[in-house]
Structure formats: C-alpha cells, structure tokens
Homo-oligomer: A and B are copies of this chain.
Amino acid sequence: MSKITFKEIPGSIVAPKGFLASGVFCDIKRLGTGKGSNKGPKRDLALIVSETPATIAGLFTTNQVCAAPVKVCVERMKNGVAQVVVVNSGNANACTGKQGMADAREMVSFTERTLALSAGRGLVGSTGRIGVTMPMDNIRAGILEAAMELGGTPAHADQAAEAIMTSDSRSKQIAIEFLLGGKKVRIGGICKGAGMIQPGMSATGARPAALPHGGLHATMLGYITTDAAVDAKILQAALNEAVANSFNRITVDGDMSTNDTVLVLANGLAENKKFGAKSPEFKTFQGALNHVSLELAKKIVRDGEGVHRVVTVRVNDAKTIQDADAAARAVANSALVKTSWHGGDPNWGRIIDAIGYSAAKVVEEKIDIGYSAVGGKKIFWSLKHGQPTKATFKQLCAAVAPKEFELHINLNLGKANAVMYAADLTEAYVDYNKGDVTDPTTLGG
C-alpha cells in the first residue's frame, strides 16, 4: 500500500484525456528568419488546451522583480478553473512596465477569443530576455497558427515542449498512468530551464517566512496536466508538497528568475471520485504528482548550462529543517565546491567550509561527509566527526568520478533532513553565459 505503482507512457501533457497541445515558430526574437512559419529555426510559442474547464493550481517565483505573465497568473488563480495556457520563449516580458502587463493580458484574451473560450479561462507564461517589450503582432500570428495546429498526439506534445525551451539542449517531458479509486488516471508534464535556476516558488509569489532567502532563485517553467478529478484546494496542497520536494530543491547557478512558474490543470475526464486530503486516494495522487515533478526537476539540472556532473546533496540529522536546508544550499551553491565536482576532486575541505559559513547551526567535530552511488545504500565516508577517515585519495576520486553521485552530510545534531539536486560549475557555463556582445543573439536572459 505504501508503494504506488505507475507506469511511464508517451505523450507527456497530451497523455491525459482531453488535452491538446501545439508549438509554432512566430519569431519572437524578431531575428527575421521565417516570421509566422512553423518550419522556422526553433518553435517559440506553445498552447496547452483542455477540452473541458480544468481546476488549477500554481506556484510562482518569489522574486520581488516579477514578470507580467506571473502577475496575470497569480490574479487568475482565484478563478479556480482554466482551459488554456499560452507560453512563449525568447522574451520574458519582465521589467516591461505597464506595456508588459497590457501585453500579458492581451496574450490571454486573444487566446481565449481565438479558441472561443469564456474570458478568464486563459493562463500565460513567458521566458527569455528581460526588459524588451513583446512583439505582439508576432505573438498574435503565433497564437492563431498554434490554435490551428492543436492536436493530441505525442508529436504535438513534442512541439509544445520544444517551443518553451530557451538555452535547453533538449525538451523535458514525462507522463505516467496509475489507478486512482479504481479508475485509470494520467498525469503528464513538460518543463524548461537550464540557467538562472534555483527556484523558490510560492502560491502567491509572496515570500513565506519558511523559504530561506538563499533559496529564492531560475527561469524554470513547468506545466502539468491530469485527467484526475481533483478539487482546486486539494490540487494546490498536492502541488505545494510536490514542488517543495522537487523544483524548489534544484540549483544550477543559484540565481532565481523573475518568471518561475509551475501550473497544474486537472480536467476530471478520468471520472474518478473526488477525494479528500486524508483519503488513501490523496496519498496515491500525491505520490504520482511527486514523481512527475521530481523527474521533471532532475531533467532541468541534468540539462543545466554547461553541466558535466549532477550531485544529490543530502544533509541529514540537522537540528532543524531550516538548518538542513541552509547547509544543503550553501554546499550546492558554493563556487569552490561546484568547480571541485567538475574536476572530480573529492575536496571535503571546501564542503565543510561551506557548511561552516552557512546559516545552519553546526559543530565541526560532529560533521560526517561521504559519498554513494545514486540511490545507493553503501556510503563511503571521507570525514567522520570532523576528521578525515582512512579513505585514500584514489578511493575518494573514484567515488566522485561518476556523472551522477550522492553527497551525504550528517550534522549529527538532530533529526531534520534536506536534499538539493545540484549541478557542477564548468568553463562551458561561463563561456555560454558571458555571451558575445558583438552578436547579441548569444546573450541570454
């Protein structure tokens, strides 16, 4: 009963009943390479549509500099239902003032009109360069074309997943199928993000006291669809829990974006009986949503800009969750730790240094540091009670050689744990993000 059984299936966001998607190229960067054509160099506008009104839940960046599409979504969450999400890449519509808000509102209302939906049924997302106003003629042309292209095949999901990419090298998709109260239910998702990645999202975009400031940082966008029948309040509770343990626990570079957004649409077409927060069905649904969210979040770290190695940083036995979180984030964001991961150097000195300067309460003489394979039970310790073990340098090098491994930090002060999924820091990250000012198309958001 404690283990949920589900299988992965193709189709991501269109796998659940009643969802359609499309992705087209409408030249949002206005590079002039095939305006309005879906044969262009990269799709840049996506639609995700439910055939029937869906209950919604969302989490949004807690950055105080917050993009117009995020503000529009936060406003619309109180509607409790939606039927379409329009998302563009190439322009974040952030720091664009009143014009930006007008453009975000026009994006949703133009989409609603195009699809003959009631006003208020649209949600919107944007990612890309900050501080440039939206090319609304291109956007409108893109929406019209995307509406014509809508479909329910895996190829349609692929197009949408591609259209939301910026510096991503590949699209990120998943769908699973499981039984919920005897009915076959599906959850699918797509996401994007490769740099400016350390999300810290809340339901209103306001900063809750519990979210550490250090952890408020990406543009990542995530869109999850399900045919489960779920009340909006239950859906939001499940999303809060899922994101707290997935998207809000990843870091590529420690920078939180102005646009981070995760949305879920649940259209109920699976016809399961609605469930309460204490039911076994909730547990099943939560488990499934956790899986989808965590797999999507990990795909972001693995495809992070210039990333060579992915490290799961587990801080255990801290005095408080806040301490565990602070220590995990300090290690996961330390430039020196991240470069040593890149070099395959098992430099525990840099790790204990970062733990020591973190906001966590720690005692040097109690700290253990070790390594394991991903999901591995056997931990190879390099430090016990603040002192080096007899492990040889060669043995430790072997432990940090794999492309993915787990770092175990035990503070031995309590019972609180936290995990971060972190990328290394490479020359390729620096090279990509310094760009080339003689070619502004190389300059990221």
A residues lining the B interface (CB < 8 Å): 62-66, 92, 94-95, 97, 129-131, 195-196, 200, 213-214, 216-217, 253-258, 326, 334-336, 339-340, 342-345, 347-350, 352-359, 361-365, 367, 383, 386-388, 393, 397, 425-427, 429-431, 433-437, 440, 443-445
B64 and A256 within 8 A (CB):
no
In the complex formed, the residue of B with least CB distance to A438 is B397
Bound complex: CA of A430 vs CA of B425, how far in Å?
7
Query: Given A386-B95, A393-B440, A434-B339, does the pair A63, B129 have CB atoms closer than 8 Å?
Result: no
Chain B residues with CB under 8 A of A350 = 130, 196, 255, 445
Residues in B with CB closer than 8 Å to A257 are 353
A347 adjacent to B386 (CB under 8 Å):
no
Q: Which 6 A-B pairs have the closest CB atoms?
A: A130-B349, A343-B434, A65-B356, A339-B433, A253-B335, A213-B359
CB pairs A–B below 8 angstroms (28 shown): A63-B357, A64-B355, A65-B362, A65-B386, A95-B386, A129-B349, A130-B353, A131-B383, A195-B336, A196-B350, A200-B357, A213-B214, A213-B359, A255-B335, A255-B350, A256-B353, A256-B357, A258-B352, A335-B433, A340-B435, A343-B435, A343-B443, A347-B443, A393-B440, A397-B437, A427-B427, A427-B431, A429-B430
Chain B residues near A339 (CB, 8 Å)? 429-430, 433-434
Contact of A443 among B335, B345, B427 (CB under 8 A): B345
Q: Determine if A434 and B352 form an interchain contact, defined as CB atoms under 8 angstroms apart.
A: no
Min Cβ gap A213→B in Å is 4
Assembly of this chain: how many copies? 2
From residue A89, how far is it (CB to closest CB) to chain B in Å?
A: 15
User: What is the CA–CA distance of A344 and B438 in the complex, to the nearest angstrom?
Assistant: 10
Of A353, A357, A429, A444, most B-chain CB atoms within 10 Å: A357
Q: Which residue of B lies closest to A62 (CB)?
A: B357
> Smallest Cβ distance from A17 to chain B, in angstroms?
38
